[in-house]
Structure 1
Amino acid sequence: MLTQLVLGSLIIFLTVVLAAVSWWGLEQVLLRLHPWAVRPPHGPKLIVVLTLALIWTLGMMTLSVWVWALALHALHVFTSFEESIYFSLVAFTTLGFGDILLPVEWRLLGGMAAANGLLMFGLLTAIMVETLRDTRQKQRNPRP
């Protein structure tokens, strides 16, 4: 049990660190786009910022699922890598189909993957909303 909790915590920590580092990268891109984004017309430019934020969010979700899948595969939890990816996606998004289950000795990881998914969805949604709010505010008041 302790092994599962430690491994699950490390995987969650890794996904959060990856999201934070990549957020820093996205923020650098948005800062470079700032002079362009605040000039009229605002609508199309807001769509570009939204698209970048959505693609970044999707990328972070995908990366997190892959981290879980690679961990499950490295632990030989499933017989195929496809099963590891599928289970990671279903657990991370909290769909919980139940057609593929973790062996008893690894079942705590399923709950941890789901908790990680909930955490990441909340975190990335907040970052995306803040990005759009900040861009819109700067469009209305473009002072440096």
Structure 2
Amino acid sequence: MIEQLLIGSALILGSVIIATVSWWALEAILIRLHGWSARPPHGPKLVVILSLALFWTLFMMTVSVWVWAVSLFWLDIFITLEASVYFALVAFTTLGFGDILLPQEWRLLGGLAAANGLLMFGLLTAILVEILRDTRARQRKFY
């Protein structure tokens, strides 16, 4: 049990650190685009900024799922990488089909993966809202 909790906690911490560093890199890109995004026309530029942020978010979610999947495969919990990716994605999104289950000695990792997914969705949603708010605030100052 302790081993599962330590591994799951390390995976959560790792995925959050990866997402944080990645968003820090996106922020550097967005800072470079400040002047461009504040000038009219605002609509198309807002679409570009939000699309960039959404693709970045999708990439971060994908990386987080792969971190879990590779770890599950490396721990020999699943025989194939495909099964590991499938389980990680289903757990991360809290969909929980139940067609692929963790062995009983590893079942706590399923709950930790779901908790990680919820945490990541919340974190990334908050960042998307902040990017939209910041972009619109800069555009309003230009009027």
The alignment's TM-score, normalised by the length of structure 1, stands at 0.98
Question: Which residue is equivalent to 1:67?
Answer: 67
In the alignment, does 2:82 pair up with 1:82?
Answer: yes
Q: How does 1:1-144 map to 2 (within 5 A)?
A: 1-142=1-142
The whole-number CA distance in structure 1 between the counterparts of 2:48 and 2:18 is: 23
Give the aligned residue type for 2:70: L
The alignment's TM-score, normalised by the length of structure 2, stands at 0.99
Give the aligned residue type for 2:64: S
Give the aligned residue type for 1:5: L
Q: CA deviation at 1:96?
A: 0.1
Give the aligned residue type for 1:136: R
RMSD: 1.0
Paired positions, count:
143
The ranges of structure 1 where at least 4 consecutive aligned residues each deviate by more than 3 angstroms after the TM superposition are: none
The whole-number CA distance in structure 2 between the counterparts of 1:36 and 1:30 is: 10
Give the aligned residue type for 2:27: E
Percent of aligned pairs sharing the same letter: 68
Structure 1, residues 40-66: CA drift from partner, whole Å, max 9, x if none? Answer: 000000000000110011001000000
Q: CA deviation at 1:142?
A: 3.9
The whole-number CA distance in structure 1 between the counterparts of 2:21 and 2:82 is: 28
| Partner SS state of residue 33, structure 2 | helix
